[in-house]
Amino acid sequence: MTPSTPSVDRSLPAQADGARRTTGRLFIISAPSGAGKSTLCRAVRQRLPDLRYSISHTTRSPRGEEKNGIDYHFITQAAFRKGIRAERWAEWAEVHGNYYGTSAEFIDRALGEGCDVLLDIDVQGMEQILKRYPDSVTIFIMPPSLAVLRQRLQDRGTDSAASISERLDNAAEEIKRRKRYRHIVVNDRLEEAVEKLTAIVAAGRTGRFNTAGANLDRNK
């Protein structure tokens, strides 16, 4: 399946020196499962509607009201493995027993057309993407604590106790790697986190990171 491409304003934001970019910029958002990454990405896309969003492909089943082609492209394991062999994915990983991947064709086309792209992927994916797109802006979403993260996963009601335990173990390892990201946003109060994340993306589009209002705190 090929991700849909929304109509956008193709005029790029001016950079700090007043010049206009001829290629788009890639923004990578990562977070432990349950940290609120999907919610934050939706909010940023509402505030910056010309930002393109890369819809990941996955072999897991839809959760709740998730829709194919909107939240994810849901495909079979056979189709995903075929994509691996065909080098279709800009990045891919197996997470909690399911495959997740990002269409290289979509990203290359969007960036080549001068569009900025928001990418929602895990830490493994971020490291792969940086090898291919080294100028990407990286942002890590932190939960306030692992105790809060546990409660959020339990409240979600979609995971068994064993699955939650596994996700928390993975979260602890992912949090250790947060210093590889340029920016960190702690998702404690949702509206504040949305404001900070939107500011980082907006500033990154013009090269004005110092005015983003949400700098990287590597001690968190």
Would you say the pTM of this structure is higher than 0.85?
Answer: no
Q: What pLDDT is attached to residue 113?
A: 95
Q: 168 pLDDT exceeds 50? A: yes
Q: 212 pLDDT exceeds 60? A: no
CB atoms near residue 11 (< 10 Å): 9
Q: What pLDDT is attached to residue 183?
A: 97
- DSSP character string of 48-70: STTSEEEPPEESSPP-TT--BTT
Q: 11 pLDDT exceeds 90? A: no
Q: What pLDDT is attached to residue 12?
A: 44
Sheet hosting strand 98-103, strand order edge to edge: 73-74, 57-58, 98-103, 89-95
Domain boundaries, the chain: 26-54+115-211
CB 8 within 8 A of CB 48: no
10 band by pLDDT with thresholds 50, 70 and 90: very low
Of 18-27, 53-62, 131-140, 152-161, where does mean pLDDT reach its minimum?
Answer: 18-27
Copy the structure tokens of residue 207: 């090269």
Q: What pLDDT is attached to residue 65?
A: 86
Q: 135 pLDDT exceeds 80? A: yes
**Cα–Cα distance for residue pair 160/124, rounded to 1 Å:** 24
Give percent above pLDDT 90 in the chain: 70
CATH number for 26-54+115-211: choose from 3.40.50.300, 1.10.10.10, 3.40.50.1360, 2.30.110.10. 3.40.50.300
Q: What is the mean pLDDT of the chain?
A: 86
- Give 65-110 pLDDT, tens digit per residue: 899 999 899 999 999 999 999 999 999 988 878 999 999 999 999 9
